Amino acid sequence: MADLNIELKKNKKIYFASDFHLGLSAFSRKHEIDREKKIIRWLNSIEKNAQAIFLVGDIYDFWYEYKHVVPKGFVRFMGKIASLEDNGIPVYFFTGNHDLWLFRYLQQELGVEVYEKPIELQVNDSNLLIGHGDGLGPGDIFYKILKKIFTNKFTQWIFKWIHPDIGIGLGRRWSKSSRIRKSGKYEPFLGEKEFLIQYCKEKEIEKHHDFYIFGHRHLPLDVEINVRSKYYNLGEWVHNFTFGEFDGETFKLKTFEDGS
């Protein structure tokens, strides 16, 4: 049984995007506000047709929730998400490697559902596997070790005792090393060496999925896993501004405002 089932209504669609990296410290505050406004324009543009929206990880470039403090900023974006939920359009968040310390704040304040691992989504007769994509497949051993450390409850407990000005500052300094800041518009495609392609092929042996939807890679991808199954990577919203659109039968990768 799928983790989530959606009976898609006539003329409705499901939308997917990932890797907004809101608050990216590599850019000026004005640049980041302009990016945030662009994301909101996209959300406004799909609102009429959207039955559900999936935001598939690394929505924030850094996030940590203290008991009484969260990183400042993003008020336009979070207000829009709250409005979508209030208007009956569910928004599903996935944690990524940059915002894996999302706890309960977004659920409580915005009403969204947050997933920490890939989920199966059944839409009418189609079966999708959705996740951010970090730490999946073979290789990337160093990151997998880091992720175990960062998701450890004791590590999180220690971090919460660091003053927020210092803790969030440290996190944003760490995010400056993000490859999205260094890679420019396109990262190299690694073909069969792509970890997520290998992961999809492994999962397909275990169970058939019509579509595999991931982020993390920062590269818009449409890859055939077999004649019945495809892997899509959603790209990112720093350079490419790409997103996925699913009408219950066909999945399309699109670019918002031509990436301008």
In three state form, how does the secondary structure of 59-82 look?
CECCCECCCCCCCCCCHHHHHHHH
* Mean pLDDT value of segment 199-215: 95
CA angle 33/176/244 to nearest 5° reads 60
Maximum mean pLDDT: which of 29-33, 71-75, 219-223: 219-223
Query: Is residue 124 scored above 80 in pLDDT?
Result: yes
Average pLDDT, the chain: 88
Of the two residues 213 and 187, the one the predictor is more confident about is 213
* Mean pLDDT value of segment 81-110: 91
pLDDT at 176: 64
The residues spanned by each domain of the chain are 4-259
Range in 73-77, 130-134, 154-158, 194-198 with the lowest mean pLDDT: 154-158
Query: Is residue 184 scored above 60 in pLDDT?
Result: no
Maximum mean pLDDT: which of 17-21, 31-35, 67-71, 145-149: 17-21
Extract long-range pairs of 183-186: CB within 8 Å, 24+ residues apart: 183/218, 184/239, 185/239, 185/240, 186/219, 186/239
pLDDT at 153: 85
Strands 242-246 and 251-255: antiparallel
Tokens representing 161 are 């005792």
d(CA 46, CA 147): 34
Query: Is residue 26 scored above 70 in pLDDT?
Result: no
Q: For the chain, give me the number of helices (H) and strands (E)?
A: 8, 12
Query: Is residue 259 scored above 50 in pLDDT?
Result: no
Of the two residues 233 and 168, the one the predictor is more confident about is 233
pLDDT at 53: 98
Amino acid (1-letter code) at residue 51: Q
pLDDT at 260: 43
Query: Is residue 194 scored above 80 in pLDDT?
Result: yes
**What digits encode the pLDDT tens for the residues 135-178?**
888 877 767 777 777 778 888 888 888 888 887 887 777 766 56
Query: Is residue 251 scored above 70 in pLDDT?
Result: yes
Span between the terminal Cα atoms of the chain, in Å: 41
Query: Is residue 256 scored above 80 in pLDDT?
Result: yes
Let me know: does 64 contact 71? Beta carbons within 8 Å.
yes
Of the two residues 151 and 47, the one the predictor is more confident about is 47
CA 226 to chain centre: 25
4-259 homologous superfamily: Metallo-dependent phosphatases (3.60.21.10)
Question: In terms of C-beta density within 10 A (0-12 exposed, 13-18 middle, 19 or more buried), how is residue 116 classed?
Answer: middle
Of the two residues 30 and 130, the one the predictor is more confident about is 130
d(CA 44, CA 40): 6
